[in-house]
Chains A and B, each alone.
Chain A
């Protein structure tokens, strides 16, 4: 069981370039999340999805877009990268159902993104 898989692991972009981060989970989880982690800031939620075809904004959504066309995949896009988006990005998923609504998160291994 692979769990949550993120690609790529590292990426360097120039300001203004675009890219897409891919997150895939094989646990049939409904909920998926994209976080960024910066020193001294903790994990901050960018966007999330509560099921296939749904997306919603988190705490810091500006400059990012997401799509959840298939239940197992959650894509994070940067249309025009900025140096402020230099960060470590984590994807996560959880099982949550109608009767169990506070399940633990399973995280991917992270993507180190540098924007020059």
Chain B
């Protein structure tokens, strides 16, 4: 099974940088996803990491360290529209194929 931990809530200021951490424990790691979910809406894909290192995509970057069971999502130049829940999801390779487990999400509030 998997155990995924991420902070419940974070608050940051518009224009600033925020880092959302995710730690996990799994026996068959096969990739880590970050999804964004605005209140009352569906989750949407942000990033995917399967190898160690940083993946950059515009204002958003995601980092993975497989040996530490650790990932973070970095949001730069924060905007009010970035207020949302950020879901860390870990893919695990099992006998039945890939199994995806979601963390409980980090609610980010961006303030003026």
Residues of A at the B interface (CB closer than 8 Å) are 40-45, 50, 56, 90, 96, 101-102, 104-110
Contacts and interface: CB of A to CB of B under 8 A. Distances in A.
Given A102-B48, A104-B45, A109-B42, A42 B31 contact: no
A102 B98 contact: yes
A6 to B, nearest CB: 9
For A50, A102, A107, the residue with the greatest tally of chain B CB atoms inside 10 Å of its CB is: A102
Given A90-B42, A104-B45, A105-B100, 12 more contacts: A40-B104, A41-B104, A42-B103, A43-B102, A45-B100, A102-B31, A102-B91, A104-B33, A106-B45, A107-B44, A108-B42, A109-B41
Report, nearest first, the 9 A-B pairs whose CB atoms are least far apart: A107-B42, A104-B45, A43-B102, A42-B104, A42-B102, A102-B31, A107-B43, A109-B42, A102-B91
B33 A43 contact: no
Contacts of B30: 102
Nearest to A110: B42
